Amino acid sequence: MKVYRDEDADLDLLKGKRIAILGFGSQGKAQALNLRDSGLEVTIGLRPQSPSRKKAEQLGFEVQSLSESCSGAELISFLIPDQVQKEVYQEEVRKNLKEGKCLIFAHAFSVHFKLVEPPDHVDVILVAPHGPGEVMRKKFQAGLGVSGFVGVYENRTGKALQKALAYAKGIGLTRTGVVETTFEHEALGDLFGEQAVLCGGLAELLKAGFETLVGQGLPPENAYLECVHQLDLIVDLIKRFGIAGMYSRISELAEFGSYVNGPRIIGERTRMAMRAILEEIRRGEFTEQFMKSYRKGFEAFKEKRQKESAHPINQVFRNIGESFASE
């Protein structure tokens, strides 16, 4: 799999072309600033009542309505929440798609699951950073970047991949490297990775370890420091040296115990559950569940968020975790 870097991308391909950034949240703000610092022309598209309007204007951006920004731009970047992309596309974007324009998505979710169905007379590309906007911006300012994916869904002009690489360079991704993927693979992999491993699965594993130790009489602070606080150290070893390299750099006691008991935690039942989750995502069942919750105002979702915040592990973080956060 080829890794594309700065020398593989031509930023001049986007010079003189207006880029509309739809949304000004974490990703929207970071990408807009990085693109502007790369010498590209950026406008921000927001709804009239958006609380982000004042923030964007204070940073010197021209802010327009969603429809107006799309009308005057040659490239349109969707950096609004996934759940509103369908309605924004249908109401504000679709009518402004002239021949040869380019739609850019940071996540393939809406396109792959047919919430957004672009016409065949525009380029449709994926530029997906592997990191939050705040991290991406901080690294960009330091002369670095996060990695990412690029992909092509519709190649109307014959230059869709080149545009994706140029945009990736504009936001700093090619400083580290990007690899090409498909919209299908990014959508499935991203949803599964977040839900089963990186966010959902990991959070449940951390809470289960914390609850086990506290339930057997250890102080919550001990449980937090043993099961949660050191996580970034292990992750850093894995990212730098791989899983086998991580094992070779911890104590033999820890390594031995990992081989004995790790598979007892993540065994065949867990793998069966993971396969079931992936199939539900693939069939569109999760997408329907998510959009149904959105249409109902995210009521149950908000209740779960409040319940999560009240978990004792978060109280311990507020008591001692923040004091160690700068480690």
Q: Catalytic residues, which ones? A: 107
Q: Which two tokens stand for residue 40?
A: 């590209």
Q: Would residue 325 be called left, alpha or beta, if left means φ above 0 and alpha means ψ between -120 and 50 degrees?
A: alpha
Backbone φ and ψ of 151, nearest 5°: -160, 160
Q: What ranges in 5-156 are assigned the alpha helix state H?
A: 26-37, 53-58, 66-71, 85-88, 109-112, 133-141
Q: Which residues contact 153 (CB under 8 A, 6 or more apart)?
A: 108, 111, 118, 124, 125, 126, 183
DSSP per position, 313-325: HHHHHHHTGGGGT
Full strand arrangement of the beta sheet holding 75-78: 3-4, 178-180, 148-154, 123-129, 102-105, 75-78, 18-22, 41-45, 62-64
